[in-house]
Structure 1
Amino acid sequence: MSRIEYSPEISELLGRVRRRPTAGWPWRPGEAVPVGLPVKQSWGWLFAPDGRVLTLVNPRDGIVSLPGGSLEPEDGGDPGAALAREAGEEAQAVIGAPLYLGYLYDRVGSANGGHECARVRMAAALLGVGPSVPDPASGRHYRRLLVSPGLAVELLGWGVPGLRQAHAAVAAAARHLGVPTLADETIEELPPGGCVLPAAR
């Protein structure tokens, strides 16, 4: 097993990571969202060419997340458009065309006023990031880390259901985006000034 490499600054940041309690939403891989079930959120596994994915860490509370969020009127009901917009706002990320992976069924509907809804998961190529700025919607200023998908699941605290979701994302990214199924294990913080990522082989 290869050694996971990271800087002292990342070690200090990861030492403050706090995981949200799991919601237990059932994962529906590859299934279309049923007609009549509203899609309220879209979140993405954004893949660098070496197979790592973008995770966001809020340094104030230690919460880790994938880029994404709620659909807004300007998204026109398109989860892919919502993901691209949210990734740009939260992480200043530029992404390729999103791939639909499936959805999480939220029976309680905490994102939909107490009514059932779907929370879509997608995968996309991470093409680059711009200079780091606070999210205009929340004011949160995220730290942007590239980590292996398996470590992302651990940081997110998603357990076995999260691993199933990660496997679906990796399989789709390997098939359609050309990324390796075994990711680089190095934990890397993307530079505050932004960067462009090379194309996948």
Structure 2
Amino acid sequence: MSRIEYSAEIAELLGRVRRRPTAGWPWRPGEQVPEGLPVKQSWGWLFVPDGRVLTLVNPKDGVVSLPGGSLEPEDAGDPGAALAREAGEEAQALIGAAHYLGYLYDRVGSANGGHECARVRMAAALRAVGPTAPDPASGRHYRRLLVAPGLAVELLGWGEPGLRQARVAVDLAARRLGVPSAAEETIEELPAAGLAFG
């Protein structure tokens, strides 16, 4: 097994990572959201050419997340539009076309006022990130890390269900985005000034 490389600054940041408890929402890979089940959130596996994905770390509380969030009226019910908007707001990210992976079935409806809903997962190419800025919705100023998808699952604290989700994302990214199925292992923080990817 190869050694994962990262800087002392990233080691200090990772030492403060806090994982959210898993919600246990069933993962429905490749299934379309049933008619009548509202889609309330869209989150994305955003791949760079070497197969790593973008993760966001809130330095205040150490919570790690993928880019994404709630659908807003301006998204017109389109999870891909919501992902592109949220990735731009949270990570100043410019993404390619979003590809549908499946959804998580939230029977408790914590994102929908106590009514069941779907939380969609998508994959897209990460084209560029702009200069870092706070998320206009929350004021959070995320640290932007590129990590291998399996390590993203570990940082997210998603366990085996998360690994199943990551495998679907990696498979699609290898087929549709041309990224390697075995990602670069280095953990890298994206520069505050931004970066474009080839």
Question: Which residue pairs with 1:69 in the alignment?
Answer: 69
How much has 1:109 moved relative to structure 2? 0.1
Question: Which residue pairs with 2:142 in the alignment?
Answer: 142
Distance 2:3 2:102 in 1: 32
How much has 1:2 moved relative to structure 2? 1.1
Question: Which residue pairs with 1:182 in the alignment?
Answer: 182
**Count of aligned residue pairs for this structure pair:** 198
- Secondary structure at the residue paired with 2:81? helix
Distance 1:54 1:45 in 2: 7
- Secondary structure at the residue paired with 1:164? helix
Distance 1:107 1:11 in 2: 37
Unaligned runs of 5+ in 1: none
Q: Which runs of structure 2 are paired with 1:9-158 in the superposition (5 Å)?
A: 9-158=9-158
The amino acid across from 1:176 in the alignment is R
Root-mean-square deviation over aligned CA pairs:
0.2
How much has 1:51 moved relative to structure 2? 0.2
How much has 1:71 moved relative to structure 2? 0.1
Deviations 1:160-188 (A, max 9, x none): 00000000000000000000000000000
How much has 1:108 moved relative to structure 2? 0.2
Deviations 1:26-84 (A, max 9, x none): 00000000000000000000000000000000000000000000000000000000000
- Secondary structure at the residue paired with 1:144? strand
Question: Which residue pairs with 1:192 in the alignment?
Answer: 192
- Percent identity, aligned pairs only? 84
Distance 1:157 1:195 in 2: 28
Question: Which residue pairs with 2:3 in the alignment?
Answer: 3
Distance 1:121 1:179 in 2: 18
Question: Which residue pairs with 1:170 in the alignment?
Answer: 170
Distance 2:146 2:76 in 1: 30
Distance 2:137 2:94 in 1: 18
- TM (norm. structure 2) is 1.00
The amino acid across from 2:60 in the alignment is R
Dislocated runs of 4+, deviation >2 Å: none
